[in-house]
Amino acid sequence: WGMEYRNNGGYKIPALGLGTYTVTNETELTSALDEALRIGYRHIDTASRYKNEHIVGKVLNEWISSGKVKREDLFVTTKLASADVFPDRVENALKSSLLKLRLDYVDLYLIHFPVATGVENGADVAYPTDLVGVWRKMEEQVEAGRAKTIGVSNFNITQISRIKKIAKIQPANVQVEMHLYFQQKELRNFANENNLTVVAYSPLGTPGVNKYFLSKNITQVKLPDILHDEVVDKIAQKHKKTNAQIALRFIIQSGLVAIPKSTNPKRLRENIDIFDFSLDDEDMQKLADLDKGKKAKIFTMQYIAPNIVENSEYPFHDNI
């Protein structure tokens, strides 16, 4: 496909990877991973929280042990679950992920959220935690060879800066929601100045989110849909590509990494088939103008929608 790579803390990260969030059905994920690897995906994103590391591990192990792919040609990311965002839990959490993944190391280990969470009386609660202490333990994972690089997810600039100030091993990567309607320009500039790779999750703006809202009886919010956006439609027609491909190409051409999730063979192929064309300056400008700022932050909306969407600033605990 003419895959591009970014420099992730001295290691090459493929600019297009496969997201696996919400896929826990073994048959579905196994066939998606097999197909993805077969057609050239080499970057897989999972997390302890997704409860599918054991499935990813089984497939990767088959591919590696049969010699169909070399471990060093894969880029595997997993994440420290928020229940484990405490200094004394980091090492065991990663060891447990590695056992499930059947790997000796991950290429990237991320703190999934800047908060520690637990369940009290059946409800989710967030605890303040010692992020600096957690980062020290993340660094130890690199020293022990269990992670090639470390980084953060769902952190804002203030939170990343706090870690950068004390880090002996700098965060290589920040993974956040990022798509045409929520372009994260400030965070991207910060990442650029500080040598952090940006990985965009929900790069298609989570098509189907409106259905999700309806299933939760949330009728007040209906999000615009990148896959049916007139500006994107026109640019897609011009390049004979789909709207999804334009949305992904915009991210790639902005120097970022995208990890669209799909388990559908046709869409898996569609999503990686974005390295044979370029958007021109005018296209890029029109697409940049689609940014709707915080209002389009889908992730926040799912969790705290809809009543405080307008005012909310995810992550919830800016001051920890």
Contact residues toward ligand A2P (CB under 6 A) are: 19, 202-208, 227, 244, 260-264, 267, 270-271
Element (H, E) at 161: helix 157-166
User: At its nearest, how many Å lie between ligand A2P and the CB of residue 138?
Assistant: 26
Cβ contacts of residue 42 below 8 Å, gap of 6+? 3, 14, 17, 69, 73, 74, 75
45 touches 32 (CB < 8 A): no
190: left (phi over 0), alpha (psi -120 to 50) or beta: alpha
CB closer to ligand A2P, 129 vs 175: 175
CB closer to ligand A2P, 173 vs 202: 202
DSSP code at position 130 = -
User: At its nearest, how many Å lie between ligand A2P and the CB of residue 200?
Assistant: 9
209 touches 44 (CB < 8 A): no
The residues that bridge with 77 in the sheet, in sequence order, are 45, 108
Residue 306 phi, psi (nearest 5): -110, -5
User: At its nearest, how many Å lie between ligand A2P and the CB of residue 207?
Assistant: 5
User: At its nearest, how many Å lie between ligand A2P and the CB of residue 247?
Assistant: 8
User: At its nearest, how many Å lie between ligand A2P and the CB of residue 188?
Assistant: 18
Q: In what order do the strands lie in the sheet with 147-153?
A: 18-19, 43-45, 75-80, 106-111, 147-153, 173-177, 197-201, 257-258
CB closer to ligand A2P, 156 vs 243: 243
User: At its nearest, how many Å lie between ligand A2P and the CB of residue 159?
Assistant: 23
109 touches 75 (CB < 8 A): no
CB closer to ligand A2P, 298 vs 320: 298
The token pair at 214 is 């309806």
Closest CA to 151 of 137, 138, 136, 132: 138
Cβ contacts of residue 308 below 8 Å, gap of 6+? none
CB closer to ligand A2P, 48 vs 202: 202
**Roughly what angle, to the nearest 10 degrees, separates helices 243-253 and 265-272?**
40
Whether 112 has a binding-site annotation, put simply, is yes
CB closer to ligand A2P, 37 vs 98: 37
- Pairwise CA distance, residues 182 & 290, whole Å: 8
Cβ contacts of residue 241 below 8 Å, gap of 6+? 249, 274, 277
- 50, 109, 181, 201: the active-site residue: 50
Q: Is 50 noted as a catalytic residue in this protein?
A: yes
- Which positions are catalytic? 50
Which residues line the annotated binding site for substrate?
Answer: 112
Which residues line the annotated binding site?
Answer: 112
